[in-house]
Amino acid sequence: MLYSMTGYGKGFAENGKISVEVEIKSVNSRFLDIFLKLPNSLMNKDYELREIIKNKIKRGKLTVVTQLHINGMEEDIPLLDKEKLKNQISIIKEIKKAAKLKDKIKLEHLLLNKDIYSTGDLALTETEFELLKKATNEALDQMLKMKKAEGIELEKDLSERLQNIENFLSEIENESAGGGIKEYHDKLRERVKILLEGQQVDKDRLELELAIMADKADITEECVRLRSHIKFFRDSMKNEEEPGRKINFLCQELNREANTISSKTISTLITHNAVRIKEEIEKIREQIQNIE
């Protein structure tokens, strides 16, 4: 079945000491592109988190934001390192003494120094890492639910457009079966008769050449292939695990056959219906850019 590439999910897990919140957003992308925003203490879990995501998501640009709270405080909030602060004040005093400066130590002199802060980094135990995996999977499941719901709507729209194409194709086949090739053959004969009026020609050879030219205008094969592509398109929507790339290829083939029909026919009705088919294909192309 179809899944949209756009979606959103949020997961949460906690124990008495640590709570983890994971937020995932997905938008269209040709490939799977994962951007992880992790607290410093979770940087070493980057690979494992990516593998969890890859097991459930195949395509899309994902932004994954993880927040870790320890005893109610966010893990990455800077904490003052009092020992480093004392060292910094001592260094400033030595500089003043060496440079024979009388200026007082001001607050801005200390705040600009990032070394006096720490982020309270910690190493998660396996039990605590399970909380992170639980929150991540919950966010992924929520997002997949949303992607599935949008995919159902996409499938409805695509099915309607495929039905429109089949309707236009039926009109083309009816027009073609109603004497399109014979009409083309007769028009060619009349045109040649006018051009060669008063000249001696080999009638058998002329009829053969006219028949060959008229046969080249036959669109039966293109119509058969169009119906075949439509069938594969529907099958892919229902049965393929990752139909996005396949139905994108089928769109190209549908458009190729419609172009060939348009270029070979001399019927205005067939030409108009071929144009309508290409319009529907273009709308399908726009929609399938959002299919995983």
Q: Where are the domains of the chain?
A: 7-76+123-147, 79-118, 152-288
Give the DSSP letter of residue 32. Answer: E
The CATH code that applies to domain 7-76+123-147 is 3.30.230
- At 68-107, the pLDDT tens digits run 887 655 545 455 566 766 777 787 787 777 877 777 767 6
- Banded pLDDT at 239 (limits 50, 70, 90): confident
Q: How many CB atoms lie within 10 A of CB 231?
A: 12
pLDDT in tens, 33-42: 999 998 877 8
Task: Name the H helices within the chain.
Answer: 46-54, 82-98, 107-111, 126-177, 180-195, 203-216, 220-239, 244-264, 268-288
DSSP letter, residue 114: G
Q: Which two tokens stand for residue 158?
A: 């695509």
Q: From the CA atom positions of the chain, what is the Rg in Å? A: 35
pLDDT at 184 over 60: no
